[in-house]
Amino acid sequence: MIRNIIIKNRSYRKFDPSVQISKEQIIKWIELARFSASARNMQPLKYAISTGRALNSKIFPNLGWAGYLTDWPGPAENERPVAYVAVLLDRLLASSCYCDDGIAMQSILLGAVEDGFGGCIIGTINKKEVAELFNLPGNLEILWLIALGKPSEKVVLETAGEGDIKYWRDEGLTHHVPKRPLDEIIYKGI
Amino acid sequence: MIRNIIIKNRSYRKFDPSVQISKEQIIKWIELARFSASARNMQPLKYAISTGRALNSKIFPNLGWAGYLTDWPGPAENERPVAYVAVLLDRLLASSCYCDDGIAMQSILLGAVEDGFGGCIIGTINKKEVAELFNLPGNLEILWLIALGKPSEKVVLETAGEGDIKYWRDEGLTHHVPKRPLDEIIYKGI
């Protein structure tokens, strides 16, 4: 059931480094994005994949992790993602991807979760450095990075009270994600 | 399997008007969006629902349909959506939703498809008129409308040749959607 996969698809930021993901596996998830809707069917998104230990370790210092957890600098050496997908806008095809990026990344992550993996969409990126690492031509702009791996942390949903939506970690290091109540997001003014 | 649902989740623009969708049913799909990732977990998206015949018929003339099918003005009276979800950005919470809109709409549509329905994300909207019809306050900005119903058209995926990505209808009125080959969307420059 899609509901179970969506609930299981949390933003995971700690991974089991002993479980690798192959490029072929990731390409199967990207194929799910390929099958997904695209504004004007333009399909301006492209994808660069990193599964190699050397490239991964060069990418890592260019990323920002979990802004609300100010005393956590990101996953430790033995918790880091085993793969990254850079989501790229091909500016030779379009100047905007509209909402294609979210659609595509949701498809990719749902595929990953169904296969027992998980990930996190990262927007805080030193784009210039990462573009060089991936050797990207000037027309391919990095929009997002998806960090991927076998999740090794527990993430739970809870209902936000009083609009407090900052995620937090308890002493057992379970990561809590407060979601606004359904009542609050359905507009009933009509 | 998520792959089957994603492939079945096409942009449907013709529906069986005899099959209604209840508000409760739509709220279950919106709950899937609620469970989905949000940048900084801000959750600035809200949703307005129309399932009533009167409101639906007032919304319809404010929408643009299938830009590439220049000789098709949109679904005929007996093919129109039975419901709409307006996806709204609450500007009191954030000035941008980043990629939340695509993530949320993919979740909503996958839920709808799993339940035997389907829809289409519409971006060509007379927003001023539709905001008045939904009686929206100034802080709720319409980003997209999702048209929903029981699909009554056949939509097939095919591989785009030579970058020709315009969707088209054959004589039997099957709707063809050319997708760029996987090879073309995976960047291999590294």
Q: Which pairs from A61-67 meet CB under 8 Å and 24+ separation?
A: A62/A125, A62/A126, A62/A129, A62/A130, A62/A133, A63/A122, A63/A124, A63/A125, A63/A126, A63/A145, A63/A147, A64/A122, A64/A123, A64/A124, A64/A125, A65/A13, A65/A122, A65/A124, A66/A13, A66/A167, A67/A124, A67/B40
Buried b / exposed e over B29-39, threshold 16 CB at 10 Å, is: bbbbbbbbbbb
Which chain B residue's Cα is nearest to A106? B103
Across the strands, what pairs with A125?
A63
A chain contacts of residue B43, beta-carbon cutoff 8 Å: 160, 165, 179-180, 185
**pTM, whole model, 2 decimals?**
0.97
Q: What is the pLDDT of residues B30-41, one digit of tens each?
A: 999 999 999 999
What is the distance between the alpha carbons of residues A129 and A151, in angstroms, rounded to a whole number? Answer: 26
Helix B23-34 to helix B100-114 angle, to the nearest 10 degrees?
A: 130
Contact flag B32-A2 (C-beta cutoff 8 Å) = yes
What is the distance between the alpha carbons of residues B125 and B144, in angstroms, rounded to a whole number? Answer: 8
B chain contacts of residue A123, beta-carbon cutoff 8 Å: 39, 98
Mean pLDDT for the stretch of residues B122-127: 98
Nearest-Cα distance to chain B for A78, in Å, is 25
> Range with the lowest mean pLDDT among A68-72, A95-99, A121-125, B49-53?
A68-72
What is the distance between the alpha carbons of residues B47 and B108, in angstroms, rounded to a whole number? Answer: 11
pLDDT at residue B190 is higher than 60: no
Other beta carbons within 10 Å of A22: 11
A chain contacts of residue B1, beta-carbon cutoff 8 Å: 114
Nearest-Cα distance to chain B for A61, in Å, is 19
pLDDT at residue A123 is higher than 90: yes
Helical (H) or strand (E) element with A13: none
pLDDT at position A66, please?
86
Mean pLDDT for the stretch of residues A20-48: 98
Which chain A residue's Cα is nearest to B9? A36
Contact flag B99-A99 (C-beta cutoff 8 Å) = yes
What confidence tier does B26 reach under pLDDT thresholds 50, 70, 90?
Answer: very high
B chain contacts of residue A67, beta-carbon cutoff 8 Å: 40
pLDDT at position B134, please?
97
What confidence tier does A162 reach under pLDDT thresholds 50, 70, 90?
Answer: confident
Contact flag A2-B2 (C-beta cutoff 8 Å) = yes
In this predicted complex, what is the ipTM? 0.97
B chain contacts of residue A42, beta-carbon cutoff 8 Å: 165
What confidence tier does B162 reach under pLDDT thresholds 50, 70, 90?
Answer: confident
Smallest Cβ–Cβ distance between A167 and the set B2, B41, B49 belongs to: B41
A chain contacts of residue B123, beta-carbon cutoff 8 Å: 39, 98
Contact flag A2-B1 (C-beta cutoff 8 Å) = no
pLDDT at position B19, please?
98
pLDDT at position B81, please?
98
Other beta carbons within 10 Å of A155: 20
Which chain B residue's Cα is nearest to A119? B37
Structure tokens at B169: 């209808």
Mean pLDDT for the stretch of residues A114-128: 98
pLDDT at position A190, please?
52
Q: What is the pLDDT of residues B45-101, one digit of tens each?
A: 999 999 999 999 999 999 999 889 988 999 999 999 999 999 999 999 999 999 999
Q: Report yes or no: A145 and A87 within 8 Å, Cβ to Cβ.
A: yes
Q: What is the mean pLDDT of chain B?
A: 96
Q: What is the pLDDT of residues A35-78, one digit of tens each?
A: 999 999 999 999 999 999 999 999 999 999 988 998 899 999 99
Which chain A residue's Cα is nearest to B51? A190
Mean pLDDT for the stretch of residues A152-181: 94
Contact flag A134-B187 (C-beta cutoff 8 Å) = yes
